[in-house]
Structure 1
Amino acid sequence: MFLTLQPIGASAATAEVSERELRETIDRLVGFGTRHTLSDTKSETRGIGAARRYGAARFAEFSKSCGGCLVVEAPSSMMTSPRVPVPAEIVDVLAIQRGTSDPDRVVIISAHIDSRNSDVMDNSGDAPGANDDGSGSAAVIEAARVLSRQKFPATIVYALLSGEEQGLLGGKLLAETAKTKSWRVEAVLNNDIVGNSGGSSGTRDDRTVRVFSEGTKATETPEQAGRRRYNGGEVDSPARNLSRFIAGLEGKSGLRVEQVYRTDRFGRGGDQVPMLAAGFPSVRITERQENYDRQHQNVRTENGRKFGDTVDGVDFPYLAKVTRLNIAALAALAGAPAPPSGVIVEGAVTPDTKLSWKPVAGAKSYRVWWRPTTAATWTTSRDVPGDTTSIVLPGIDIDTWFFGVSAVSADGLSSPVVYPGPAGAFFAEPAAPTG
């Protein structure tokens, strides 16, 4: 069976998720009229500026309650895109909960706070954005409210992004911010459209959430691609193993996790894409049934058919489940040791396979995993003491299986599984010295 995780305080934390809080947040966001990236930035009651200040104020409120555990920042950059023809200031709102013992390792939950209507360039008309992406923003704010009451070895960043609808600009700014701060980003959980359970087809599903993950790294070099095509790794990027990790937590939320082996929905995109382009393991979390009448549409009724992204289209019990899944994943990731680095697999022309890796701070033990090359999830494991960084698996031949390693803490929290070599590495390996 796949790894079952028991994150620090996850059960208690997920129980604290409040549908009332989620509803109040979305009501406030919708109340700003429009959150279009190019809308008013000065008004206290309307536009993207008011929405961003509201998010920052909520983070500051939580920080006050936890004795200053959150540092609220608003990185910005003048940016252009085909949908931003004149340079405009793009602003992200971040709440940073610094880790206790491994603060440079960072896990991120993100959502875009901007909205749009039918005309993506209309920066003045009402664009409620209740589900796209008021729901994701509400999940981020609720995660900060709940998890700021706990402490974790790694740093958690709660990110409200602007400019997604204008070309994934907030995600690009977040990637630049992470690089500037030299964060070792282990995982990004991007929540985009997570609050609706009724689809355009009439199908209703409030029991399933989708997690999208890239198959091969966006940053893969031609040399790495050649090795991966020959030896495997097409379905073992860090994002893919992050998706498997989240699926292992589905019992914490009351949701079934449907893993989708794509970077995003067909031909579409989200803020996880620029994070992947920067080399950071990222997934997109999205509702199972999308209602396209409620996405990117002016609010109106035509022939009895309602259009527009309004609050009545949000299923708050469902959104609470998605939020619980995020909180369980954040707690598990930030509470566990880092994924191992330097994972190497050897065993050509022998009946045995050897795996080795670098020691991980805080790891009490390691877990070596293997599975048939056609299996979707890890099937078999063996534990290794924490003072050991290699193992030989007698009679397990390298040709027939895929292999991976995870790090385990003293209280049983496990990192995501790491596939050997560059194809599966969560963190970029430092360049070899020259000269």
Structure 2
Amino acid sequence: MSTTTTTTAGGVKVVKPTVSSHIHDYWGRVRGGDLGSLPAVLGLIILCLIFGVARDTFFSSLNFANLFSQGAQYVFIAMGLVFVLLLGEIDLSAGFASGVCGAIMAILLTNHDWPWYGAIPAAMVTGIVIGFVLGFLVAKFGIPSFVVTLAAFLAFQGILLKLLGGGKNISINDTFVLKLANGNLSVAISWILTIIAIVGYAAAQLNQVRSRAARNLVTDPIGIVAMRIAGLAIVLLVATALLTQERSINPVLNSVKGVPIVAPIIAVFLVIWTFILSRTTYGRHVYAVGGNTEAARRAGIPVDRIRISVFVIGSFMASVGGILAVSRANSVDPNTGGSNILLYSVGAAVIGGTSLFGGKGKAINAVIGGAVITVIDNGMGLMGYSSGTKYIVTGLILLIAASVDALARRRAASTGNR
């Protein structure tokens, strides 16, 4: 039995959970099937320990920095797919959509001498248009998203080939674009942004407690809030300390240190989408439609608009992933966005804790799942395993994640915690 203390605020009795009762209630939700990202976090820790023991270089500052650029495309596409999956839909075209958007940017930069501040928005607008068309076909024509996006998956491969003249490789030399996935912040700015992130998170957490307390709502124990803040602070401080170390083979000729630029980009999008899903009416509508479409429609929620919007967000984030992929490769070719990009991106969202059945998921799931996918790919590469072995292991982990999701839903249904 969880224990709480009660106080009186303005004549209204308010229940204030203690740290122990909060932990007890959380454990009860986990046992009831509400696992969230817990399996992915535990899996990530175990994988890091395994690879760290097997290869000393895994925990090196150079390899740690490489993980960000290596997994950026998966993470950004997965963030968009979270919105699509929340409605129980799927987008099989996200990988090649990112390739098409990346190609648009590269062509405008190289062949038409556009500046980066024109080419990048053009690529993003392309993603938005793609998402609107896909969403419109699904919402207004009632075509299953699997069919629509499978058709788009095939069509975008052809469009990419047409854009690249049948298979050419277009290189880019815009320094701003190249730095997005390959550049680093200065040591000073790295530490400044880290401190700002910690202070900002602490302020947001404490403000939430104050706001809920002012409305006589149940708040999380201050001890739990303090542990969250301390946990994030430790992670960010340790990561920044590692990333600000010199990691160049020849620092005299070329010093390389500082947080990769792609890291704060991921953080900004994570904050934006987390805020939208958790603090806005739109976010509540997305969860409502994903949980029960008919009930949402009867409640007056514009279901069709919500459906179109999630595909727009999905393809927009695919465009961001495409931009980062082109930046990392310094070029675009017919394979950009192809190969295992889509499968890894869907896997990142699902492994991170987003349900394939709709109604359950967060933006952070894409980041955690993307980290798992990237660590597997990176760690097994350091250990010398073939691509075939990496695919098998990643597939097994994805299957385990989907099985955990299905079992958790069954458990939640049996305990009434849906």
Give the TM-score, by structure 1 length.
0.23
Q: Which has the higher helix share?
A: 2
Larger relative contact order (Cα-Cα within 8 Å, sequence gap ≥ 6): 2
Give the TM-score, by structure 2 length.
0.24
